[in-house]
Structure 1
Amino acid sequence: MNSPKLLTLILFFFLTGTVFGQTPQAEPFTFGEELNFEVSYGWFNLADAKMQVAKRPHKENDKSHYQIDVFGKTKGAATIFGKVNDNWGTILDMDTKYPIQSYRHIEEGNYRKHEKVHFDQKNYVALMQLFDKENRNLKEEKEFELPGQVQDIVSGFYYLRTLDLKDMKKGDQIIIRGFFDKEIYNIKLIYEGSEKLDTEIGEKDTYIFSPQIPKNKLFRGEYPVKVWVTKDQNKIPVKIKANLFLGSLNLDLKSAKGLRYN
Structure 2
Amino acid sequence: MKLTKQHAFTKEEIAIVFDGQIRNFIHQTALFFVIPTKKLNFRQVLSLKSMRRLFTYFFAIAFLWSSSLFSQEIPTNDAFTFGEELNFEVSYGWLNLADAKLQINKRSHTQNNRPHYKIDVFGKTKGAATIFGRVNDNWGTYLDTNTIHPSVFYQHIEEGKYRKHEKVSFDQKNKKALVEVFEKDNRTLKSVKEYDLPGQIQDIVSGFYYLRTLDLENLEPGETVLIRGFFDKEIYNIKLIYEGIERIDTEIGEKETYIFSPQIPKNKLFRGDYPVKIWVTKDQNKIPVKIKANLFLGSLNFDIINAKGLRNN
Same fold (TM over 0.5): yes
What does residue 176 of structure 1 align with?
Answer: 227
Measure the CA separation in 2 of the matches of 1:223 and 1:27: 31
What is the rounded CA distance, in whole Å, between the counterparts of 2:291 and 2:64 in structure 1? 15
**TM-score, length-scaled by structure 2:** 0.82
Q: Counterparts in 2 of 1:70-89, with a 5 A limit? A: 70-89=121-140
Q: What's the offset of the Cα at 1:18?
A: 1.1
Q: After the TM superposition, which parts of structure 1 deviate over 3 Å for at least 4 consecutive aligned residues?
A: none
In the aligned structure 2, how far is the partner of 1:78 from the partner of 1:50? Answer: 17
Tell me, which stretches of 5 or more residues in structure 2 are unaligned?
A: 1-20, 27-50
Aligned length: 262
Q: Does 1:90 align with 2:112?
A: no
Per the alignment, residue 8 of structure 1 pairs with 56
- Cα distance in 1, alignment partners of residues 144 and 262 from structure 2: 25
Give the drift of 1:29. 0.4
Partner-residue secondary structure (3-state), 1:259: coil
Look up the SS of the partner of 1:65 in the other structure.
strand
2:95 and 2:224 map into 1 onto residues whose CA distance is 34
- Partner residue, 1:133: 184
* CA RMSD across the alignment: 1.0
Task: Give the partner amino acid of 1:151.
Answer: Q
- Conserved in 1, the CA contact under 8 Å of 2:99 and 2:124? yes
Q: Deviations over 1:41-67 (max 9, x none)?
A: 000000000000000011123211001
CA distance in 2, matches of 1:60, 1:81: 39
Greater share of helix: 2
What CA distance in whole angstroms lies between the structure 2 residues aligned with 1:17 and 1:230? 15
Take 1:116 and 1:206, find their aligned partners in 2: how far apart are those partners? 34
Do the aligned partners of 1:177 and 1:184 also contact (CA within 8 Å) in 2?
A: yes
Specify the SS of the correspondent of 2:166: strand
Offset, 1:213: 1.2
Give the TM-score, by structure 1 length. 0.98
* Residue in structure 2 matching 1:219, options 256, 264, 270: 270
Q: Choose the corresponding residue for 1:237, options 288, 291, 294.
A: 288
* Secondary structure at 1:136 match in 2: coil
Q: Which has the higher contact order (CA 8 A, sep 6+)?
A: 1
Q: Percent identity?
A: 69
Q: State which of 237, 243, 267 in structure 2 corresponds to 1:192.
A: 243
- Based on CA coordinates, which of the two structures has the bigger radius of gyration? 2
2:252 to 161, 181, 201: 201
Q: In the alignment, residue 299 of structure 2 is paired with which amino acid?
A: S
Match of 2:108 among 57, 73, 81: 57
Letter in 1 for 2:59: L
Q: What is the match of residue 260 of structure 1?
A: 311
Work out the CA distance in 2 between the residues paired with 1:27 and 1:214.
Answer: 34
